[in-house]
Amino acid sequence: MHDEPRRHSPAAERNRGPILTQLQRLLGRSGTLLEIASGSGQHAAHCAAALPGWQWQPSEGDGPSLRSIAAWCAGLPNVRPPLWLDVTAAEWPGAPCAVDAMFCANLLHIAPWAACAGLMAGSARHLRASGLLVVYGPFIVDGLPTAPSNLAFDADLRSRDPAWGLRRLDDVRALAGQAGLRLSESIEMPANNLCVIFEAAAGRHSNPGH
């Protein structure tokens, strides 16, 4: 039986279009983008194909997913080989030293809180001055009602792992601020998700150790 390396995420299939629309609006004509937690690779394949001026570096902390990412992105000249990356690590060996943008979809709610801290600290190390971190997924927003489907999703996640669950946007913003990132925009997306944009401080020096 043929071993199909490509994994398939129905959620990625549904949300890749709206995510691409936001990336096309936010990003310039060219640059380097580091994707954190690339999952199946469907986002990388779809978005990189539509953003030919961008060098796309996918990454993933789940070893078997690296094969799926490589298979989805095969033949795309602007996608680099997928990188194994532990978002919570103090350093990200192999990651580009200074990138213009970072993208992370559907990670924070299915990972311990340390993953959020790692994402913000890593963004501070690797983003160029005024570079963007684009985070997609469901959040709890203080002062706004949480959709019943998101409440049920949160309960299901916590039943599977107490360290998981939807994150309060204010808590994420506070961690970002500690790392020197400013929340610049929060866009409502389909299926009760948000696209949250953080900006690295202007005039800062990215990753001086590289």
Tens digits of residue pLDDT in 129-141: 999 999 999 999 9
Angle at 202 between CA 197 and CA 203, to 5 degrees: 155
Q: Assess contact for 112 and 181: CB atoms under 8 A.
A: no
Instruction: Tell me the pLDDT tens digit for each residue of 160-174.
Output: 999 999 999 999 999
Name the fold adopted by 10-200.
Rossmann fold (3.40.50)
Give the C-alpha separation, 188 to 158, whole Å.
Answer: 24
What pLDDT is recorded for position 6? Answer: 93
User: What phi and psi, each to the nearest 5 degrees, are found at residue 165?
Assistant: 135, 160
Q: Does the pLDDT at position 97 exceed 70? A: yes
| Entry pTM | 0.94
Coil, helix or strand at residue 90: coil
Q: What percent of the chain has pLDDT over 90?
A: 92
Please state the domain extents for the chain: 10-200
User: What phi and psi, each to the nearest 5 degrees, are found at residue 114?
Assistant: -60, -25
Coil, helix or strand at residue 1: coil
The closest of 145, 7, 164 to 70, measured between CA atoms, is 7
DSSP 82: P
